[in-house]
Structure 1
């Protein structure tokens, strides 16, 4: 699924009312390395320290090509890859059946505040609707660590429904 959109800045950041052309396309072999760098950066921001290399993320993305439930997308604004969106088809009784999980959504730090994150989120919502899903979930880091992330999702209409916990087992 390819989506071309003209995005007009809504006064966020320092780009004024400039018109930006941004394209969302499926992740492919040519965009994997750039996407991996963004994901490694996202994981560092979440954890407050480097936790993986871009090469390790590249390996994981290459494996993801063979996972039917996983969908990766990149955003390009004409100067290169500036965003990544990872989606996972999920099923849970509490959610009323099938739903879409946003596993990664990251925008390059030098391009934040220009509508790219919203473009990727809009794309996730369109993918969910096309698949017949009724819900989208996203797990967020603690608000104290990344308050801007929480503010972004809240501004986009997402509400907190509790805390998800996890434990590494391997």
Structure 2
């Protein structure tokens, strides 16, 4: 996490594309350190620099939306399944949270929040794992993001808001 904070401090003097590259590099370092530690102690990674998250409840309705998004995008990128508390975290472009309108089946979070994520090789449970692998160049872009909202409306997973609040999953990122 120290490397992540150091990278963030030096990024302010660089052009936006270099800042995003440095933030992504810091994210990858943190994820690799987590994987080398056995994937149990996950670092809380700051949102907003590399991606924001759309959070939905997991279950049959969310599984149908996930399969439908695979068809819309080819393969849905960056979706974390959290068996307990039963949530899906969809990686979306940074800044999405700022323009996200309220939705009964989803919420969107970005900076200044942080969330623990599994290591890059975690592709099965029983704990948190990547239901769709994170790819730096592949996030849910604007067109499919509108499709995701529509699919969540159509399939109607339960509201995640209380589960997220009770889980303590999303925290304020240290500056």
TM-score normalised by structure 1 residue count: 0.27
Using CA pairs under 8 Å that are at least 6 residues apart, name the structure with larger relative contact order, 1 or 2.
Answer: 2
Q: Which has the higher strand share?
A: 1
